[in-house]
Structure formats: structure tokens, C-alpha cells
Structure 1
Amino acid sequence: MTVYQLPVEVSAFAHLLRDMVARLRPGEGWYGVFAGRDPEGLRSCFDGTEILPWDVVESLLQDLGEVGAGPGTARARALHAAAAAAHDRLPGGEEALRERLALMEEERRYAESRSRDLDARLRADPVCADAPLLSGDLAWAQDDHARATARIAELTGRLTRLTAGADGGRGPAWAAAGPPVRTDPEPPPAEPPAPSARKGAAVKRRPRGARYAWTDETEEAQEALPVPELPMAGAAPRGARFGGAEAPPERAPRAVPPEVAEGAARAAGNAVYALRRLRSQGRGGEAHALLCEAAAGPPAWLPALAAELHRAGLGADWATLLWEAASLPPGRLAAVAGALADAGRGQDCDQLLRQGVARPVDELAGACAALRAEGHHREAHALLAAFVRVRPPEDAARLASADPHALVPQLLEAARAVSPARERGLVHALRVAGLAGG
């Protein structure tokens, strides 16, 4: 895919990567594996021509000691999602995604076949002279399979969001994935643990497979340059976020037509049934793909799905779905936020909007306009409040230029609620942009 100018989101994520690896030792940990395996592939991600698979980012975070859902992980995931979405929208993006997806399918099949073969050989003669070597190879083959599965889910989600558009009129596949069942009586099976870094000889073997998406092998290493810290998303401000006045109250839930409620309940039951079945079979990648499809499906069905997932003890899956929905096109993002607000799920709506502030400024302007057009003024205000907390004043001025009459006063009120310094910075940016008086 030919790229002449990098989107700002891709550049921001590339800066983050360079900052991360500047704090790592090139010959150690997962970074040592990746740097030795494919330095050219890493370089293409550091300069923004490719997007590093999320499983590799997680491994680098592990090298840095960042585990679980810490602030470093949240920040990296937000920037990664925004960069991937912007990269996929470039000319040739859909074709590139489909090609990479086909490659990962082949890698997963190969890793699965190799794992079976190595396991059979070890079972046949567990004390043979080659047993330690075969055990190491088996561990890497299993890691190849896990990474390929994760990348298939990631690529499928990106492709779904890219092609979602206006295709929300027909019922999605996740809505008919299985017979609706009640899921209250028993908890869902646990997700298989993520593969951990393996030390010793196995790491030094530099095996082939799906661990890395590129195939070039050279002996040059990427020189990483430190960059300034980027802002990290935080919680939306409460209270006097709009110039000393309370935020508009959450709207009372709106009545849903019986036929819509019936279809939503049936789809939610089917989706939860399918998710539990996939989890029980260790098919986490396909479960993630189902969540991505649900995020791109009819917005009016999502509140029922949220309720059913929480009833089934699958709250983490709902959080994943909200994360994926934050990268939907602006009209779809606004529709999902509006549906959640109409159903009385204000906290879910606010979380979705906070996660969406990493996307391009022009898309956020479109989302604000769509929310206001549907009467969701509180949600539009929440989006702007989160925006001014985590984005620089120059970005806020660019956002205001989309509709100065409506957005300039709202952005100023939101900035004033954050801090006097933030308000002064925004006033200066607006003056430079010609949107405020001298």
C-alpha cells in the first residue's frame, strides 16, 4: 500500500513505539526475539508504514513490566486503535487487510498442524534424546498458533469496522449464532491464559511462524529515538464541566417498540450462547470477531446484549465490545452512543465516548454533529469534555473550526472546567486559528 503522508494517528502511535523500545534492551525479552527475527518489519512500524500487531505491542509492554490493564496498556491500546483505523482508511487499506487475514489463516493452520505433529512425537517417545528440543519447538508452535488466532481476530475486527458503513439494516450473523438460552445458573468458562515469554534456549532459536507478520530477515537493527510523553486518556470530568453548571442530566430510558425489543432479546440470547460455546472450546479469536460484528450491528440491539452479557458474567466481553465500537465510523459511533443513552445506560455511553476521543478530529466533529442532531446534547457535551482533557489545544481549535458558532463556546466551557491553564491554551489556539478575538 503506497503512502505519501502519514495520518497524525499513525505518527502518534509510531512515536509511542519508539519511546517504548528506547527503554528496552534489544537483545533481551520479547523485544530481543522480534528485533532478531525481523528488524525490517519493526522499522516499518517505527516509521509508520505498517501497524504493529497488538499481540506484539502487548509483549513489548510485558518487557517493560506493564501487566494487565494498567495505564500504559490503556494508553497504548487507545493509540493503537486510532492508528489502525486511520491506516486502514488509506487507499488500498481493505485489500491489504484481506491479504494479511488470508496469510494469518494459513499461519494458524500451519501452527496447528505442527503442534499436533510435535505433540505426537513427544508422546510416542517422551525420553528420547531430542525431547528437550522437541518440547521447545512445541512451545513455539503453540505460541505461533495463539498469536495467529489473536491476529485473525484483530484483522477481522478492523475489516468489519472499515466495511461497516451503512450496512446495518440486515440482521448480523451474531444474532443467529445459536439457540437463545438463559445464562444465569453457571459462570462462563475462563479464557485460556495468554502465552508468556519463554526463556532460555527456546527464545534463542528464533523460530518461524505467526509470531510476527513479516517475512524479511536482515541483520540490521532499528535505532530507536526517545520522544516526549503523549497525553493519556482519563475519566470525563463531572460537576462544573460546563462553566460552573452541572452537566445535562442523563435522559430517562425511552420506550422501545415491542418488535425491536423482541428481536434484541433474541439476538442477545443467541450471542451469549455462542460466546460461551466459543470460550469453552478455547476459540478466543472467533469470540472476539463475534463481538466486533455485534459492535457494527444494529445499535438498538446493543443495550439488550449488554444486559445479557452482564447477567452471564461476561462483563469483560461487553467492555471489549465498547472498545471496538469506539473505532466505528462517526455516524455509527453516535448511533451506538445514542442507543445506550436512550436505554438508560449513561455510564456505558460515557465510557464509549471517552474511548473515542483518540480518533481523527474531523470524525469527532461528525460524531458531535450527529449526536446533537438526534437530541443527545448531554452526550455531545461529554464527548467534548473528554476531548479537551486529553487532546492538545491545537486539536481542539481544529475541531472548533468545523462549527465555530456551536463548538467554540462549548469547548471553552469544557476547558475552563479542566484548569485555567487549559482554558488559556485553548484561547490562544483559537486566536491563532482565527476563531476568537484578540
Structure 2
Amino acid sequence: MAQLPGAAVDFARFLAGLTARLDRRSGWLAVFLERDPDGMRACLAGSELPPWDVVDALLQDLASDQGAAVARTEAAAARALHAAATAAHDALPGAAAALAGRLDVMLREQRYAAERLQELTAHRATATTEEAAAALDVDLAWAEDDHRRATARRAELRARADALAAPAAPAPERPAQLAKPKKRPRGGARFAGIAEEAAEPPQPPAPVAPAPAAALRGARFAGVAGPAEEPAPSRPDPEGAHAATGAVARLHALRAQGRGGEAHVVLAELAGWPAPRLPLLAAELHRAGLEADWATLLWEVAALPPAGLVAAADALAAAGRGADARQLLRQGVARPVPEIADALRLLTGDGRDRQARALAGAYLAVRSPEDAAGVARSDPDRLVPLLLDAARGVSEERHWDLVHAFRVAGVLA
């Protein structure tokens, strides 16, 4: 553990102490050791950070073994140590790319769990014997647990990715004569969402409203806002509005019945709808009080191929939902470097230069210059000019950072 961040070492020691107090043959600890022994060993060694739902389940084991009062005391320490370890892990080089990969994996696991739930529910409805029904009830209980955990883990990873992507506040200019400066707590994007006393797990940062006097401009907002490249206004779509109303009514009914897995399947289907219908779904979901489902739907759309992603962002911007469009692009670039490179090559190869600049600008706004150099390495002749042009729209500083990263990577003379 010597080379690990101190906070990661502290949490690993806490976790080892907690599991040492539990019966390894029963409870959630036994389940985790059976299902993922390598993962548990990595968590106990400190090289991996367990998701909070795993820690919470182990605390439930402790409550069963030693009482709720003991578990409550340990839970307070667990939350603080887990939050600090999360911040330490996310401050390591390559954290953004690692989170992007895990988000992609967790999205697939969540979808699989939702489909499994739907399949088992259908089988349970047609079970012909008590024995078959009882066996399916057990399978359903495990499938529901898998879906709950996948949903919680995706939300946790999303909060961490959003915290890393949040831009740090610009440092104020220092006057010529300055009194002795006060010490300030550590800040910046990598600590966003982590409370100063680490009393709660990481939460997504609050959105920052743009300054009212400044119009949004630059590559990261291309196709999202601004008169230079504003998408054409959307036309009325009565059929789409009717379909959106029906889909949201179905979602509302599933939520009311506690059928979360089936609701997620519906959201995954809605992500594949034509892009112009996305603003209609947004309006209906907010009207029905299903804001959380709108947030989930945005993440589903963010996982679409690049053409669909950019088309969806354009549709949202055209409908006056610029904040959602920007959020969608930020989420859409939370994917591995090779996928971004393939997407940019595809868009430029098809002559969709504006969409390519929008995607490149969103990527540069939240990922490191070194990540961008990895993207450019796959096709320097095509991607270096595109990325440098997009970087100028983000900021002059980002442009020169990118030039330096490209030279270090050997993709720019």
C-alpha cells in the first residue's frame, strides 16, 4: 500500500478491519466473496475502491452481528473515509478515462439487469407450478438486487465523472500590493462534489449558470447555442407529441408500481427515438415530475453513436434546451479515447465538420490535453488540425496546452 494515496490506504485499513469483524460464511460478505473474490481482494488491498452500496451492505452485516448502534457509529467513519478515498483515487492520472470506461461497463450491466428482470417477470406470470413460481421468485429477487446495485453504481460513477468534468473557478487577479493571504482549503475540479468534512458520499456539482452578459461561443458550444451555428428551429410534430405523452404515461405507471427494471428498459428504448422527439420527451417528463428519468434518459442518449449524440444535442438546442444540450455533449465524451477518435474520423469522413467540431470541443472542455493527444495519434493528419481548431474555441490557454501535449506525443512537429 506504500505507493497508494494516504486516503486510499486509510479506507483499505478500515475495510479490512470491518470485514475481520464479520462472518465470511454468511451475509453480504459471503455473497461478495463468492461472486467477485478478486474484486474484494483488490478493495481490501486498496488498489480498488468499492462502490458505496458494497460498503453499506457490509454495514448491514455488522448491524445484524453486533447491533444497529455499533453499525451507525461505523457508518459515520465509513462515509468520511470513503469520500476521502474517492477524492484521492479521482486525483490520480488517468482517472477521467478510467471512470469513462467504468461508466460504459456499468451502463451495459444496468441494461442487462433490466432486461433480465423483464424476462423473469414474464416467466413468473406464466409459471404453472408452485415449485417453478418459487424458483422464479428467488431469481427475481436477485435480479432486482442486481438492477438496484447497477443503478446506484452508475449514479455514483456519474457523480464522480461530473465532479472531474466541472471546470475550476478562475483564480481572481491579484492586485499589485496584497496583504498577507489567508490560507484557503484545497479546491479545483478534482475535489468538486467532496464535502469539506467528507460527511457524505460524492454528489454531482451544482450546475453553474453562464454569465448573463456573455453569449455562449466557441467550439464546445458549436451546435448548442450561439447565432453563428444555431440549429434550425424544430417543426411542430403532433404525432411525436402524442407518442411522447403515451411513453411518459407508461413510465409513470411503471414507477408507481415499483417496476424500476421495466421502466429502465422503456428509457433505453426512448433513447433510440428520432432526435427531434427528445425535447418533447423532456417536456413531458418534467411535467409528470419524472426529472430523475430525464437525467437517466440523457445518459442513455449520451451512449448513442456519435451521429445520434450530436443530432440529439442539436435538437435540444433548437428547442431552447441549451443547458441539456451542453450536458449531453459533456456526458457523451465520457468514453474511451479510441471511441472518440473513431467518432471524429467518422464525422469528418462524412463531411459533417460542424458536428465533429462540436464533439471535439466538448471533449477538450472536460478531458486533459494528454487524452486529446491520444485521440490525435490515431490519425494525426486529420485530427490534429480539427482538435487544435476546436481548442481555440475553448480558450487560448487550452490551445497552447494542446500544442505542447501534441509535441510531447510526437504528433506535431
Normalised by the length of structure 2, the TM-score is 0.54
Q: Is the 8 A contact 2:28 2:57 kept in 1?
A: no
Q: Deviations over 1:197-253 (max 9, x none)?
A: xxxxxxxxxxxxxxxxxxxxxxxxxxxxxxxx998112599867569x997656255
CA distance in 2, matches of 1:414, 1:249: 15
The answer to whether 1:232 aligns with 2:164 is yes
**Cα 1:101–1:276, aligned 2, differ >3 Å: closer, same or farther?**
closer
* 1:25 aligned partner: 15
Alignment-derived partner of residue 313 in structure 1? 289
User: Greater CA deviation, 414-423 or 397-406?
Assistant: 414-423
Q: CA deviation at 1:325?
A: 1.6
Amino acid across the alignment from 1:274: R
Question: Which of 70, 93, 104 in structure 2 is aligned with 1:85?
Answer: 104
- The answer on whether the counterparts of 1:388 and 1:415 sit within 8 Å (CA) in structure 2 is yes
Measured in 1, the distance between the counterparts of 2:49 and 2:305 equals: 19
Matched with 2:408 is 432
Tell whether the 8 Å contact from 1:242 to 1:417 is kept in structure 2 after alignment.
yes
Percent of pairs identical after alignment?
Answer: 42
CA shift digits 1:270-299 (9 cap, x unpaired): 111111111211222222221122112322
The alpha-carbon deviation at position 374 of structure 1 amounts to 7.8
Which segment drifts farther, 357-366 or 39-48? 39-48
- Give the partner amino acid of 1:312: A
| 1:286 paired residue number | 262
For residues 207-286 of structure 1, what are the structure 2 equivalents within 5 Å? 232-234=164-166, 249=228, 251=230, 253-256=232-235, 261-286=237-262
Task: Tell me the equivalent position of 1:392.
Answer: 368
1:38 and 2:32 are equivalent in the alignment: yes
Q: Which residue of structure 2 lines up, in the alignment, with residue 64 of structure 1?
A: 79
Higher share in helix: 2
Indicate which of 384, 392, 397 corresponds to 1:408: 384
Give unpaired runs (5+ residues) of structure 2.
Answer: 59-74, 125-129, 156-160, 168-207
User: Which runs of at least 4 in structure 1 moved beyond 6 Å after TM superposition?
Assistant: 45-48, 50-54, 57-62, 75-78, 140-143, 152-155, 245-248, 416-421
* Secondary structure of 1:323 counterpart: helix
2:279 paired with 1:303? yes
The structural deviation recorded for 1:141 is: 12
- Matched residue of 1:275: which SS? helix
Q: CA deviation at 1:351?
A: 0.4
User: What amino acid sits opposite 1:38 in the alignment?
Assistant: F
Q: How many residues align?
A: 306
Structure 1 residues 65 and 299, CA, compared in 2 at 3 Å: closer, same or farther?
A: farther
Q: 1:355 to 1:276 in 2, by over 3 A?
A: same
Query: Structure 1 pair 103/81, CA: closer, same or farther in 2 (3 Å)?
Result: farther
Distance 1:37 1:335 in 2: 43
RMSD of aligned alpha carbons = 5.6
**Is contact 2:388–2:402 with CA below 8 Å preserved after alignment?**
yes
Q: Which runs of 5 or more residues in structure 1 are unaligned? A: 1-14, 118-139, 159-193, 195-228
Distance 1:232 1:410 in 2: 24
Conserved? CA contact 1:231–1:390, under 8 Å: no
Partner Cα distance (1:103, 1:46) in 2: 33
Contact 2:231 2:314 in 1 (8 A): no
Using the alignment, how far apart are the partners of 2:150 and 2:230 within structure 1?
39
Q: Is the 8 A contact 1:105 1:148 kept in 2?
A: no
